[in-house]
Amino acid sequence: MIIAQISDTHIALDTPDAGRRIRDFELTIADLNALDPAPDAIVHTGDIVHNGRHDEYIQAMATLANARAPVYVLPGNKDNRMNLREAFSACGYFSSDSDFADYAIDDYPVRLIALDTLSSASNKGDFCRKRVRRLIDLIDAETTKPIAVFTHHPPFEVTEGPDLLHFETPEVMSGLSEALQHSGRVVAIFSGHVHRAAAGHVGSIPATVMPCIATTLRRGEYPARMKRLPIYHVHRFDPVWGFVTESRIAGAQASTNLLEHDRTRP
């Protein structure tokens, strides 16, 4: 099974770099569509838009509509839970009996569980007792398949960057961490939010953070020729080895052609 992860597109309509954020998103979807073999699923781990506005979701949906693989989304701190749920209601995976934007997808050899880590108080993550209970129920609903969990806020300490902890308190993060480990069937955790690549563990479960698709908001050092090229992750699952993650540079081929063109130009 092949899962493409994208994150932190921060689509906005009224910032000076609005056009570039849309272009980064479009470049990424075009690159994903050219993958061979194609991904089975695309998961967007939040901050789809920057201000949670309806018109921003309309713009984001116009880009996502070009994706050839099924797209699953979850909210980041810049999203508006209600507007996001409304914008993606036709996808059918948000449950009407939940206040949160969390769900499980059972259509693949690996179950996908998307979590809602939004806080009503800050940009950091929250995971109340109700959500812990819901996560345990989602995990226990099926007992034979491995599970990949997707979150916006990473549920482990990210030692790169200014903030170690991306949840409001260590207690909230350990409540989530315990729930993730309770069955032994969660084989990987994939997150966003930090805008830079990172890797760690939740207990013995490997966990990664992907960089942000919006190149103007990406953190970390990159060579000059990569500065305008978004990076996304492709997670390939093998039943024996688990997930292997590849970082891909969207538009790298186009950029190489451009460099070649520059080099050969008289």
Q: Is 64 helix (H, G, I), strand (E, B) or coil?
A: helix
Distance in Å, CB of 138 to Fe ion, minimum: 24
User: Does 56 help bind Fe ion (rule: CB under 5 A)?
Assistant: no
Tokens of 113: 């569980």
Q: What would the x/- binding string for Fe ion be over residues 139 to 178, using CB under 5 A?
A: ----------------------------------------
Looking at beta carbons only, is 111 or 166 nearer to Fe ion? 166
- Interface pick for Fe ion out of 3, 5, 6, 8 (rule CB under 5 A): 8
β-sheet bridge partners, residue 208: 190, 199
Number of residues interacting with Fe ion: please give it, by CB under 5 A. Answer: 2
- For residue 121, the one-letter residue type is A
Nearer to Fe ion by Cβ, of 108 and 222: the residue is: 222
Whether the Cβ atoms of residue 170 and residue 191 lie closer than 8 Å to each other: no
- Token pair of 28, please? 């990424």
Considering only 25, 42, 45, 47, the residue that binds Fe ion (CB under 5 A) is 47
Cβ count near 262 (within 10 Å): 8
What are the angstrom distances between the C-alpha of 241 and each of 38, 78, 109, 139, 236? 20, 35, 14, 21, 10
The number of residues in the chain equals 266
Cβ-contact 29, 74 below 8 angstroms: no
User: Given the complex with Fe ion, which of 8 and 126 has the nearer CB atom?
Assistant: 8
Nearer to Fe ion, 194 or 249 (CB): 194
* Contacting range for Fe ion; rule: CB under 5 A; set: 1-9, 31-39, 115-123, 161-169: 1-9
Residue 78 beta carbon to Fe ion: minimum distance, rounded to whole angstroms: 6
Interface with Fe ion (CB under 5 A)? 8, 47
